[in-house]
Structure 1
Amino acid sequence: MMRTAASHAVRSVLVVSLLSFALSGADEARAWWFPNRSAAAHSVALADLPSQGRETYRLIFQGGPFPHDKDGSVFGNRERQLPAQKRGYYHEYTVETPGSRDRGARRIVCGGRERTRPEACYYTSDHYSSFRKIVE
């Protein structure tokens, strides 16, 4: 009986600890505990993006030209990490990854009525698993 009570107490402490960690500031924990909660609530300053991200952002507002054929294609938000919008609202753009033999995992996804004047842009370095809203 004592073994079961002790085991239950250890499990309770573990669950409380994990929930505390998940509710703290850790993006990875929050994404793991709350996969449908938008990670987009977190932001990143434009100046803190890698130089390739700043260049992609500049090209978006300039209207291109973009280095990849898929740049500017509709982003479906199937992962539901970004705020819900009608299909066609979001478009994705490649952020070059030095040394990568393909497009890599980094993207900027922007949403809005006009592609060169997006209402919001988000950066992902992990191929859509998490996003941070870009702020200037």
Structure 2
Amino acid sequence: MRIPPRFTLLGAAAALLATLFTGPATAAPTAITAVGDICYSRLPSQAHDTLDLIETGGPYPFPQDGTVFQNREGILPSRTTGHYHEYTVITPGSDTRGARRIVTGDATREDYYTADHYESFDLVDHDC
């Protein structure tokens, strides 16, 4: 399982090499945008647990956790493949992974929460 770092020197070097060989990607926005936003304090407690696991590098409850999120829905800002990774937010009483996820980006504290399996996202505001 690949556990992606939030930002590493290796990741920065890879981005630089990609830019040198393929040219610059689309211009990065000055601010991260999403469909909505949510205060960290308003997330369900299980989302806090997931964010804590991400910060410590696991272990994660499902093998899919930490895999690349493709952004096929096109709701999150467009980025290169591998920028986003997804993690399960446990749904109490569910026998499956449920619909709740945290999707992280490579930027510091670029965390998105979805309660409806990628139909909508809220950017997590860690300062409230």
Note closer, same or farther for the CA distance 1:119–1:54 as it changes in structure 2 (3 Å cut): closer
Gaps of 5+ in 1: 1-38
2:43 to 44, 49, 53: 49
1:101 to 78, 95, 106: 95
TM-score normalized by the length of structure 2? 0.70
Deviations 1:17-71 (A, max 9, x none): xxxxxxxxxxxxxxxxxxxxxx814211111110000110111111111111100
**Secondary structure in structure 1 of the residue aligned to 2:92:** coil
Q: CA RMSD in A?
A: 1.7
2-side partners of 1:78 and 1:85: how far apart?
11
Contact 2:85 2:103 in 1 (8 A): yes
2:125 paired with 1:131: no
> What amino acid sits opposite 1:100 in the alignment?
S
> What amino acid sits opposite 2:36 in the alignment?
H
Structure 1 residue ranges, 4+ long, deviating more than 2 angstroms after superposition: none
Aligned length: 95
TM-score normalized by the length of structure 1? 0.66
Deviations 1:78-122 (A, max 9, x none): 000100000000000000000111000000000106xxxx44010
**Secondary structure in structure 1 of the residue aligned to 2:76:** coil
| Larger relative contact order (CA 8 Å, sep ≥ 6) | 2
1:79 to 44, 68, 73: 73
Larger Rg: 1
Note closer, same or farther for the CA distance 1:119–1:53 as it changes in structure 2 (3 Å cut): closer
2:63 to 56, 61, 69: 69
Q: Which has the higher helix share?
A: 1
Gaps of 5+ in 2: 1-32
2-side partners of 1:107 and 1:41: how far apart?
15
> What amino acid sits opposite 2:98 in the alignment?
G
Quote the residue 1:122 is aligned against.
112
2-side partners of 1:45 and 1:89: how far apart?
23
**Secondary structure in structure 2 of the residue aligned to 1:40:** coil
- State the percentage of identical aligned residues: 51
2-side partners of 1:41 and 1:52: how far apart?
22
